[in-house]
Amino acid sequence: MPSADFNHLAYREHSERAGRVTLQFSCLASGDQRWDRFEVPRLELGARLKPLVAALGPATTEALSALRDRLLI
Burial of 16 (0-12, 13-18, 19+ CB in 10 A): exposed
Overall pTM > 0.85: no
Cα dihedral across residues 63, 68, 71, 73: positive or negative: negative
d(CA 13, CA 24): 7
The predicted-structure confidence for 44-68, as pLDDT tens digits, reads as follows: 999 999 999 999 999 999 999 999 9
